[in-house]
Structure 1
Amino acid sequence: MTTHLALLRGINVSGHNMIKMEALKTALENIGFQNVQTYIQSGNVFVDTDEENAPSVGFKIKQEIFKTFGHEVPIVVIGKTDLENCFKNNRFLTEKEADIKKMYVAFVSIALRSDHINDLKMSQVKPDEAHIDESRIYIKYSVGAGKTRFDQKYIEKKLNVTATIRNWNTVTQLLKMYEER
């Protein structure tokens, strides 16, 4: 069995794409996923399956959400190593006065090259900052996530990827949950 973490984007936000986590859990169990566990209402779902290929798992979940709930939901599926690497490779954590309330991670659907940072045109979103590591973009917002242009839509448009963003507290909790499984 392989444990995957599916990060759903854009559910239960401002009354749109509403999905109750208990109903999602039941739907995923009905199509063969085991040990389904959700974390908060924003779409963080752990599943166990014999399928090792993360994109296949994401596709299966996406199909079931559309079939059961009628919502087209972008999904990025990650593993425990992805979350562990967040803690090893987030340069913003090493800053003297690191403010984790302003730190976020964008998980993207493909592996990125270091030169993709140029495609993000960070000068357009200053004073926000970012750096890239594999399929993650570490973000430090200057004011906050609600007052920036540098959101998942911006990232998706500039890089032609699927992206979903989690705040640092959520990333920390998801790794803790992975370790407890």
Structure 2
Amino acid sequence: MKLLTYVAFLRGINVSGKRKVPMVELRAMCERLNLRDVKTYIQSGNIVFKSSIGRTNEVAILLHNEIQKHFDFDVPVIVKTIDGLSQIIEKNPFVSQEDITANRIYFVLLNSLPAIELLKNLSEETFENEAYAVVDNCLYLKCALGYGKAKLNNNLIERKLKVIATTRNYRTMDKLQEMCN
């Protein structure tokens, strides 16, 4: 039985004291689901693990349902394979080392491909001090003033593109890729 390496991204946990998910409990829950080599990174809901389940959507549903049962609230879950994560990082169009070091580069992971018409509508809008590009199921975001001041934030992206999304900075994505290897 071949084990695949996955990264799960949980949306909106441990923010402002709401939807608290202790990482120790989350890891233990994952291990009860027969996920192997479970590691979490920071408190925002990043899990690296191995599983014999062969499809990311099956893993996402498994985690979503168990989190809902265990913690008693709904948490959107996006799951990527290590190859999928590597491709997302490689396709990042914002590669300025200065921007990466200054924490201006963000990855908005989309749970599905947005409709072409919705992407077209979004492309007609401008956001001062922000640049973005959508490649496959990731919206790459460069925030000149930092993500905290960004107008094009996760909630707006979800509303405009009608998809579930979760945002991570470059350092987090890079660290998760390192943890997978």
- What's the TM-score once normalised by structure 1's chain length? 0.90
**Match in the other structure for 1:75:** 77
CA RMSD of aligned residues (A): 1.8
Are residues 80 and 113 of structure 1, via their aligned partners in 2, closer, same or farther at CA, if it must alter by over 3 Å?
farther
**Match in the other structure for 2:129:** 127
Q: In the TM superposition, what are the counterparts of 1:32-111 in structure 2 within 5 Å?
A: 32-93=34-95, 95=96, 98-100=98-100, 101-111=103-113
Deviation (angstroms), 1:58: 0.6
Are residues 91 and 114 of structure 1, via their aligned partners in 2, closer, same or farther at CA, if it must alter by over 3 Å?
farther
- What's the TM-score once normalised by structure 2's chain length? 0.90
Residues in 1 aligned to 2:109 and 2:44: alpha-carbon distance in whole angstroms? 14
In structure 2, the gaps of 5 or more residues are: none
Residues in 2 aligned to 1:116 and 1:84: alpha-carbon distance in whole angstroms? 26
In structure 1, the gaps of 5 or more residues are: none
What percentage of aligned pairs have identical amino acids? Answer: 30
Amino acid in the other structure paired with 2:19: N
Q: Is the Cα–Cα contact under 8 Å of residues 109 and 139 in structure 2 kept in the other structure?
A: yes
The structure, 1 or 2, with the larger RCO (C-alpha pairs under 8 Å, 6+ apart) is 2
Q: In the TM superposition, what are the counterparts of 1:146-161 in structure 2 within 5 Å?
A: 146-161=148-163
Residues in 1 aligned to 2:168 and 2:124: alpha-carbon distance in whole angstroms? 19
Q: Is the Cα–Cα contact under 8 Å of residues 4 and 48 in structure 1 kept in the other structure?
A: yes
SS of the aligned residue for 1:131 comes to strand
How many residues align? The count is 177
**Match in the other structure for 2:11:** 9
